[in-house]
Structure 1
Amino acid sequence: MPEKLVDIKDLEISFGEGKKKFVAVKNANFFINKGETFSLVGESGSGKTTIGRAIIGLNDTSSGEIVYDGKVINKKLSKSDEREMLQKIQMIFQDPAASLNERATVDYIISEGLYNFGLFKDDKDRQDKVAKMMTEVGLLSEHLTRYPHEFSGGQRQRIGIARALVMDPEFIIADEPISALDVSVRAQVLNLLKRMQEEKGLTYLFIAHDLSVVRFISDRIAVIYKGVIVEVAETEELFRNPIHPYTKSLLSAVPIPDPILERQKELVVYDPEQHDYDTEEPSMVEVLPGHYVWGSPTEISKYKLENPYK
């Protein structure tokens, strides 16, 4: 059996209080196995990044648990546990321009985590680690004295990846790491992330809205709609057999690289009013082996009837 690294249980994330309270994520349940790429997919504003930021501790949670390697991390941690989590969990941010300090050299940007955690023996060891990481992400060591504005978007994203990887983490949250990049650069960055995963045994939470990219890189996928995770399954199983109506709608919007087939394609429009959750409480249920769907007891019975266990 694969070993769980991250386990999200009944997670709720809200902002504000009283009448101004806004629940951004509710009833989130999923787990991520060691060494896999788990993708979180949904429209803009659905709560994907909010969950990623909560795991790394940038967003507070209102209820539920975030369990990392058997330890609940969304509560008050001791100083040593907090340092350990900060080193083990790293994040690659969506906007490579906004996430880098424009006033710092690339050398300092990549070294900052090493300084903060004392992850080097002497300055030569630090320089060696930084230079090696620059080479691994496809940049030159002579770039170290430059500033972020002197680089292209793809190069800046590589600097962000180097900054995360130099900490020698176990788990990386990649928040739409290629959405701000040109199409020609996207494949290079994705291949880099896959290669690093194989070499270092990394586990990824990959946050995205582009399903074609997610299919290429993921082992399993969770689909999120307005803060609720509606379906979780292995990648090919989800693409071959989407069960929840929202997942079907999302997949129908993926462009087909054939103009004739694209014109013949029928779009599925999702209507959230089709669910009656006032009389029946919805929950996440395993409809097929490893395939979880959010629904009321009546809906789950219908899904199981349409998708009997083989």
Structure 2
Amino acid sequence: MTNERTPLLAAKHLEIAFGQGKREFVAVKDANFDIYRGETLALVGESGSGKTTIGRAILGVIPTKKGTIAFHEQLINQHLAIDAQREVMRKIQMIFQDPAASLNERATIEYIISEGLLNFHLFHSEQDRRDQVEQMIKAVGLLPEHLYRYPHEFSGGQRQRIGIARALIMRPELVVADEPISALDVSIRAQILNLLRQFQQESQLSYLFIAHDLSVVRFIADRVAVIHNGRILELAPTAELFTHPLHLYTQSLLAAIPIPDPQLARQKQLVTYHESVHDYTTDPAQFVELVPGHFIYANQSELVTYRQQLSMT
């Protein structure tokens, strides 16, 4: 992908598969994307599209079959020395989808947030560790007295704040946020998104924000990658994607966003997508940059149509 800046993380021709031989299932096919310092890249698609699989591959939880993942231009989807592996583990953190399942119910909040500091010895003294934990719990909108309670004593939104505190106390450079608000009430979602943006502005954090709802990422993402059946079909700046969605699958996701006005909702046209609309047998598709920053998976005949669409806008 063409960009004058050096990406913080770059994934090139990424392929991830499970099983072997006839039972092999390719979950991610030829994925290409960059994430730059201080930006949010949203990865959007339906359940089972491969977006969480990509996030876990970045964290090193699952292996990749082909392609490269580079962090600070160092390949991290291959064998790393122990020190290099620990450094990557510290600098890339994850916020999980289910705040209830991701916290140890037997541990106090103080220990849950401290665990990373203890494992990586990121404190000078016991007092320094306590100070860091107290500052972080305040930063996510909770109180110091909450530190000595247990996860079951908190609401879903509060537990997600604890999960955010646990990740950010490690002073990461990249956070993989896997559907971090989908399990929360609508009234709490904006609070969590605002909290993530606040930390990003203060620390130049980068996010890979995984979601299934385009309406959510419009608020937080700088760029959006749309994935379907393991393949990224379209990638563009957020405003560009919402204004000029080219791929039919992207259009179908946008059409699925609920409209609160009943009269406008009745006028909305349903857009359906099926892979059979494409014929790539003689004219294979590639992931190409159609205009600066706007990438799409298409063959040559489709590119002609897309260019015509853009020229008419």
Give TM class, smaller chain. Answer: over 0.9
Q: CA RMSD in A?
A: 1.2
Out of 96, 100, 103, which is 1:100 matched to?
103
Tell me the equivalent position of 2:217. 214
- 1:88 lines up with 2:91 in the alignment: yes
Deviations 1:42-79 (A, max 9, x none): 11111111101110111111100011111111000011
Deviations 1:178-200 (A, max 9, x none): 00001111111110000010011
Tell me the equivalent position of 1:141. 144
Tell me the equivalent position of 1:258. 261
- 1:190 lines up with 2:199 in the alignment: no
Which amino acid is 2:61 matched to? L
For residues 22 and 246 of structure 2, the distance between their equivalents in structure 1, rounded to whole angstroms, comes to 35
Tell me the equivalent position of 2:304. 301
Deviations 1:14-53 (A, max 9, x none): 1111111111110101111111011000111111111011
Tell me the equivalent position of 1:271. 274
What secondary structure does 1:180 align onto?
Answer: coil
Q: How far off its partner does 1:255 sit?
A: 1.1
- 1:4 lines up with 2:4 in the alignment: no
Contact 1:10 1:28 in 2 (8 A): yes
Tell me the equivalent position of 1:29. 32
**For structure 1, which runs of at least 5 residues remain unmatched after alignment?**
none
For residues 241 and 117 of structure 1, the distance between their equivalents in structure 2, rounded to whole angstroms, comes to 45
Shift in alpha-carbon separation, 1:309–1:5, aligned structure 2, 3 A: farther
Tell me the equivalent position of 1:226. 229
Tell me the equivalent position of 1:166. 169
Deviations 1:193-251 (A, max 9, x none): 00010011101110011211100001000000010000000001000000011111111
For residues 297 and 65 of structure 1, the distance between their equivalents in structure 2, rounded to whole angstroms, comes to 27
Aligned length: 310
Q: How far off its partner does 1:305 sit?
A: 2.9
For residues 44 and 262 of structure 1, the distance between their equivalents in structure 2, rounded to whole angstroms, comes to 25
What secondary structure does 1:51 align onto?
Answer: helix
What secondary structure does 2:8 align onto?
Answer: strand
Tell me the equivalent position of 1:119. 122
For residues 12 and 271 of structure 1, the distance between their equivalents in structure 2, rounded to whole angstroms, comes to 22
Contact 1:288 1:308 in 2 (8 A): no
For residues 2 and 96 of structure 1, the distance between their equivalents in structure 2, rounded to whole angstroms, comes to 35
Deviations 1:85-136 (A, max 9, x none): 0000000000001111111111111111111101011111100000000000
For residues 309 and 278 of structure 1, the distance between their equivalents in structure 2, rounded to whole angstroms, comes to 29
Which amino acid is 1:123 matched to? E
Contact 1:288 1:309 in 2 (8 A): no
Percent of aligned pairs sharing the same letter: 61
For residues 247 and 89 of structure 2, the distance between their equivalents in structure 1, rounded to whole angstroms, comes to 36
Q: How far off its partner does 1:309 sit?
A: 10
What secondary structure does 1:27 align onto?
Answer: strand
Which amino acid is 1:37 matched to? T
Runs of 4+ residues over 3 Å off in structure 1: none
What secondary structure does 1:60 align onto?
Answer: coil
Tell me the equivalent position of 1:176. 179
